[in-house]
């Protein structure tokens, strides 16, 4: 079965750290670019959610980061263990969100965050001040 299973979320105080993981099964990670995204409620009661691309771990070994997380978050992969990781340091209440990983063979599909071939179910992070 092709899937990404995210784990590692939880509650942490401002300034703390968390390491999220996505376990890969059913496909060859080497062939895919993988993005970490997060979804947050934009406006209470509106049902609207903002989603943001945080980083992309590319199959060529390079990594791209959004400016909002550069220097605080590290996106990595272990192709041998079929695992993806998001190390998050110096967390702030604004980082509270549902975190998801998504994979696609095409980098620009991941960069646009739409119609990715494979999505994980997400793991929740809550940061208190």
Does residue 128 have a pLDDT over 60?
yes
pLDDT at 42 over 70: no
Tens-digit pLDDT profile for residues 64-104: 999 989 999 999 999 999 999 999 999 999 999 999 999 99
| Residue 50 predicted with pLDDT over 60 | no
Q: What is the pLDDT of residue 40?
A: 82
The pair of three-digit structure tokens given for residue 10, joined into one six-digit string: 């939880």
Q: What is the mean pLDDT of the chain?
A: 91
Contacts of 46 (CB under 8 A, 6+ apart): none
Dist. CA 18–CA 87, nearest whole Å: 6
Using DSSP bridges, classify how beta strands 118-119 and 123-128 pair: parallel, antiparallel or unpaired: unpaired
- Taking the CB of residue 97, how many other CB atoms lie within 10 A of it? 22
Q: How confident is the model at residue 124 (pLDDT cuts 50, 70, 90)?
A: very high
Q: Would you state the pLDDT for residue 114?
A: 86
d(CA 6, CA 3): 10
**Cα 52 off chain centre by:** 9
pLDDT at 89: 97
Question: How far, in Å, CA of 41 to CA of 64, rounded?
Answer: 25
Could you tell me the end-to-end alpha-carbon distance of the chain, in angstroms, rounded to an integer?
A: 40
Burial classification of residue 82, based on how many CB atoms lie within 10 Å of its CB (0-12 exposed, 13-18 middle, 19 or more buried): middle
């Amino acid at each position: 079965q092709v899937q990404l299973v995210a784990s590692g979320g939880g509650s942490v105080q401002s300034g703390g750290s968390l390491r999220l993981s996505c376990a890969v099964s059913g496909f060859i990670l080497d062939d895919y670019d993988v993005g970490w995204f997060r979804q947050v409620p934009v406006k209470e009661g509106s049902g609207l959610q903002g989603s943001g691309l945080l980083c992309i771990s590319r199959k060529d070994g390079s990594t791209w980061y959004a400016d909002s997380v550069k220097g605080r978050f590290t996106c990595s992969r272990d192709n041998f263990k079929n695992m993806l990781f998001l190390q998050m340091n110096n967390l702030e209440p604004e980082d509270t969100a549902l975190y998801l990983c998504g994979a696609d063979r095409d980098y620009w599909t991941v960069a646009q965050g739409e119609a990715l071939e494979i999505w994980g179910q997400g793991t929740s992070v809550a940061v208190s001040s």
